[in-house]
Structure 1
């Protein structure tokens, strides 16, 4: 009998806040700007995002495990598929289950939010749901999984940044704004930085197995420079977002985030021991979540 603890490890609970941070940020902003925002839309956004994230995590565990990539990983969380704690056929069933649940939740979301008032937009979001499900699986699963060809950073930028923030904001308000677009870029880049830490940690094992990431294509030295670049540009875009909005005392707290992120960038740049990347990874996940929530109140 498979322990629930093994499934909890497979879904990687510590990563789930990332899937709801951008959605929550845009929801808080919309509450300040629009008289009435459908709370059910927000709840369904959260549920759909969580289901897609769980689907992606289990697919990643299965995909890397079935290819034998995890055999050469000595750092990071223990993989359930490769270790045999969860059988691969059970993971396939879980992938099918969460694909179905993601579709039901996603369809419910766009039906309640958009109905059929604008058929073109409804179809666009419907195709988007299908694409999100497909992308969550094929990041790691399949002979040509795009996560193994250097496209992981771009996909995270799109899904955890633009779609998460800008897409959900449209469902809340039926409008799009330049400042929300800038915020989506800022949050998206920070999420890419999280993936980059993960890839720097696994830089040798990924390359050995033929999995190409931006980190192992750049090499550890330039991957660290790339990391600093991601954080710097994100903070710049965040500061522009603040300047475009009303002045309030909360804006002064942005200075704290600047110092925290610069300290993090310094730690990463001088980090030598691979296992220490895990500590910075967990710290950055918390920082990105807090940053996203904080930016929601800058209105």
Structure 2
């Protein structure tokens, strides 16, 4: 039965990344005005479809380029193991591209209708960019995920700025600088997930021409880079609460997650065997969701 292999290819354990920022901005928006729950649900569905599209594309692209091989330390890819064929994955990429577009289009129709035609088409172009970027991360003659720093930049844009600030605008039809700081906080944490992935596969990536930040910096400085982005994220999250302080409960929810993130940094610094990065990657995905939840719930209190 192939369903379990498609679930594996979708990388279920990473999917909270797609709706962490969207959920956070929903909570913040709800604390400031009445927000449509349907809009939130459509945002989540669209984000999930786009992330699954990206994960399928990554499975396909890394298999084509040879980056995905038996030297790789990360979880086994479905194409490499022969569970899903290249043609089947190609069809799945096409289907999820279509589903992502229609889900996003429905979201825009629900949110803007035709009252804000310019913004409607601006977001429509944004959906095409999201679909294109999800595929091009590891597919094509020059996938941007193989260029130093580009993967980190695009993760910041899509999982940080677009996820938080972009969805906040869909909820409220307003842009706020404090939400931008919050989007950077979530974005840096998501960059951290990518960085762990790249530190784990550093040697194999270098051998196959995938020049990520850890390949460029080497493992010692990649860990320092990781420390920096996590600490910046904690600072920006705290700064957002400082700017919007309502009660002590905001800090009570926020501080424990921040402490766990600091422990995470220490674990990353002390790791000697690269296969141990897998566990920390999964932990950070959970911590990102908790980070967003802790800030968001603090505003609903």
TM-score by length of 1: 0.97
Deviation at 1:69, TM superposition (A): 1.0
Distance in 2, matches of 1:56 and 1:214, equals 20
Cα deviation digits, residues 231-281 of structure 1 (max 9, x gap): 111111111101011332231232212221111111101111011000111
Structure 1's consecutive aligned runs of 4 or more residues displaced over 4 angstroms after TM superposition are: none
Distance in 2, matches of 1:83 and 1:27, equals 39
Q: 1:246·1:298 contact (CA, 8 Å) conserved in 2?
A: no
Q: 1:81·1:87 contact (CA, 8 Å) conserved in 2?
A: yes
Cα deviation digits, residues 5-38 of structure 1 (max 9, x gap): 111100000000110010011111111110x211
Cα deviation digits, residues 103-128 of structure 1 (max 9, x gap): 00001111110112122111110000
Q: 1:66·1:82 contact (CA, 8 Å) conserved in 2?
A: no
Instruction: Give the alignment's Cα RMSD to 1 decimal.
Output: 1.0
Which of 123, 138, 153 is residue 121 of structure 2 equivalent to? 123
Deviation at 1:72, TM superposition (A): 4.7
The aligned counterpart of 1:213 is 212
Which of 133, 143, 146 is residue 145 of structure 1 equivalent to? 143
In the comparison of the two structures, how many residue pairs are matched?
297
The aligned counterpart of 1:49 is 47
Cα deviation digits, residues 82-108 of structure 1 (max 9, x gap): 121100000000000000000000011
Unpaired runs of 5+ in structure 1?
A: none
Distance in 1, matches of 2:104 and 2:15, equals 17
Cα deviation digits, residues 219-238 of structure 1 (max 9, x gap): 10100000000011111111
Distance in 2, matches of 1:276 and 1:213, equals 19
Matched, 1:94 2:72: no
Distance in 2, matches of 1:41 and 1:255, equals 30
The aligned counterpart of 1:272 is 272
Q: 1:200·1:220 contact (CA, 8 Å) conserved in 2?
A: yes
The aligned counterpart of 2:37 is 39
Distance in 2, matches of 1:78 and 1:292, equals 30
Unpaired runs of 5+ in structure 2?
A: none
Which of 73, 76, 81 is residue 75 of structure 1 equivalent to? 73
The aligned counterpart of 2:111 is 113
Distance in 2, matches of 1:253 and 1:129, equals 34
Deviation at 1:39, TM superposition (A): 1.3
The aligned counterpart of 2:245 is 246
